[in-house]
């Protein structure tokens, strides 16, 4: 690995309150790695200029968040692993002016749920709400559960169908209409429901109160805490988790890609918690 200081950033839109800089600065400090991590809050028209900066070596690498995970994947010279399957990236490394894109979201989701003892068992049914980049990573991760039945619902049916098509061949995958009746029917048989949309209870076509007792609930949002979906799920006796642990795990995986080092998760988790709850 290079001994030059890391120059890292997060590219997205509306990211001024992102805790990613705190998380990655903690990872660098606790690992003895010198470097910086900044936010690049960009308009769509600024993306091509940012890609030029990457190729010219302004940054060692970057994370990518909403709404540019697919856009930046298209700008990469090579996609690896899950990024190649999904056509989205959350981590880019610059190698000799070439952009190599991966996504650590699927592995981060699996690690987060496994840590919380919420990873579904063989043959379970899972419902994912949403069809964006985060939903795609979650859906891909869930297809790794043997004999899992995966159902996808999104406000835009075409987006749900597109995601299901990308995962076709990975198991029993189908879409569900975005309405309370259809989703209630699916929830009645689900072992886990994942909200991978940016909206809360007031805008979602389900309520945790109506879920089977053994159904787990995950909401990928992590601000403002407590997350309403998670709160209601816990109040009604369900196992539930917000997206903070997934954020941590995918970030640690990105850090390992850039540095070849495994950052102490405890120190980074504490820094992240303080940033989110500040």
Are 51 and 132 members of one domain? no
Question: So what's the pLDDT on residue 1?
Answer: 46
Q: Is residue 108 a contact partner of residue 250, using CB atoms and an 8 Å limit?
A: yes
Domain with 58 in it: 6-103+245-277
- The reply to whether 187 and 156 lie within a common domain is yes
Query: Could you give the CA distance from residue 31 to residue 91 in angstroms, rounded to a whole number?
Result: 19
In a domain, 113, yes or no: no
Would 1 be classed as within a structural domain?
Answer: no
Secondary structure element (H or E) that encloses residue 252, with its range: helix 244-259
User: Is the same domain home to 20 and 40?
Assistant: yes
For the CA atoms of the chain, what is the radius of gyration? 19
| Residues marked as catalytic | 69
Residues 6+ away with beta carbon under 8 Å from 239: 116, 117, 118, 216, 217, 233
Residues 158 and 181 in one domain: yes
Looking at the fold, whether 249 and 189 belong to one and the same domain comes out as no
In this prediction, residue 168 carries a pLDDT of: 87
| Residue 132 and residue 23 share a domain | no
Are 97 and 148 part of one and the same domain?
no
Looking at the domain assignment, is residue 108 inside a domain? Answer: no
For residues 49 and 4, give the distance between their C-alpha atoms in angstroms, rounded to a whole number: 24
Assigned domain for 76 exists: yes
Residue 214: which residues within 8 A CB-CB, separation 6 or more? 191
Under a CB-based contact definition with an 8 Å cutoff, are residues 105 and 70 in contact?
A: no
CATH code, 165 = 3.40.50.720
CA dihedral defined by 35, 91, 112, 201, rounded to 10 degrees? 110
Q: What is the pLDDT along the chain (278 residues), one digit of tens a residue?
A: 456 899 999 999 999 999 999 999 999 999 999 999 999 999 999 999 999 999 999 999 999 998 999 999 999 999 999 999 899 999 999 999 999 999 999 999 999 999 999 999 999 999 999 999 899 999 999 999 999 999 999 999 999 999 999 998 899 999 999 999 999 999 999 999 999 999 999 999 999 999 999 999 999 999 989 999 999 999 999 999 999 999 999 999 999 999 999 999 999 999 999 999 87
Q: How many structural domains comprise the chain?
A: 2
Say what the pLDDT of residue 51 is: 98
Residues 96 and 205 grouped into a single domain:
no
- Mapped onto helix, strand or coil, the DSSP state of residue 37 is strand
Beta strands in the chain (DSSP E): 6-12, 35-41, 61-64, 78-79, 91-95, 98-102, 125-129, 149-153, 172-175, 192-195, 216-219, 240-241
Assess if residue 110 is contained within a domain.
Answer: no
Closest CA to 13 of 44, 37, 36: 44
Does residue 130 belong to any structural domain of this protein?
yes
Q: Is residue 147 part of a domain?
A: yes
Whether residues 261 and 225 share a domain: the answer is: no
pLDDT for 169 equals 86
Q: Which of 99, 119, 100 is nearest to 109 (CA)?
A: 119
**Do 250 and 227 share a structural domain?**
no
Cα separation, 140 vs 136, in Å, equals 6
Report the SS3 class of residue 222. Answer: coil
Kindly report the pTM of this predicted structure.
0.94
Query: For position 10, which CATH number holds?
Result: 3.40.50.10860
223 & 249 share domain: no
Regarding whether 156 and 132 lie in a shared domain, the answer is: yes
- Is 109 a domain residue? no
Give residue 118's Cα distance to chain centre.
16
């Amino acid at each position: 690995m290079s001994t030059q200081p890391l120059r890292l950033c997060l590219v997205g839109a509306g990211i001024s309150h992102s805790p990613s800089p705190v998380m990655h600065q903690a990872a660098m400090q606790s690992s003895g790695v010198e470097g910086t991590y900044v936010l690049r809050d960009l308009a769509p028209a600024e993306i091509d200029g940012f890609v030029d900066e990457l190729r010219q070596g302004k940054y060692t690498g970057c994370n990518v968040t909403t709404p540019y995970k697919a856009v930046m994947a298209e700008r990469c010279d090579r996609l690896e692993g899950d990024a190649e399957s999904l056509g989205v990236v959350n981590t880019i490394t610059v190698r000799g002016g070439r952009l190599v894109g991966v996504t650590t979201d699927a592995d981060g989701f699996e690690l987060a749920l496994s840590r919380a003892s919420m990873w579904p068992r063989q043959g379970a049914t899972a419902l994912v709400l949403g069809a964006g980049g985060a939903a795609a990573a979650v859906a891909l991760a869930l297809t790794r559960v043997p004999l899992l039945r995966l159902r996808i619902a999104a406000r835009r049916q075409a987006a749900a169908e597109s995601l299901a098509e990308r995962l076709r061949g990975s198991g029993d995958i189908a879409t569900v209409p975005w309405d309370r009746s259809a989703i209630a029917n699916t929830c009645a048989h689900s072992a886990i429901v994942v909200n991978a949309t940016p909206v809360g209870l007031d805008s979602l076509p389900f309520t945790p109160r109506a879920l089977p007792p053994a159904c787990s609930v995950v909401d990928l949002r992590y601000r403002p805490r407590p997350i309403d979906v998670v709160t209601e799920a816990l109040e009604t006796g369900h196992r539930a988790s917000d997206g903070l642990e997934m954020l941590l795990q995918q970030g640690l995986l990105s850090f390992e890609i850039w540095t070849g080092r495994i950052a102490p998760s405890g120190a980074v988790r504490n820094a992240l918690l303080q940033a989110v709850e500040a």
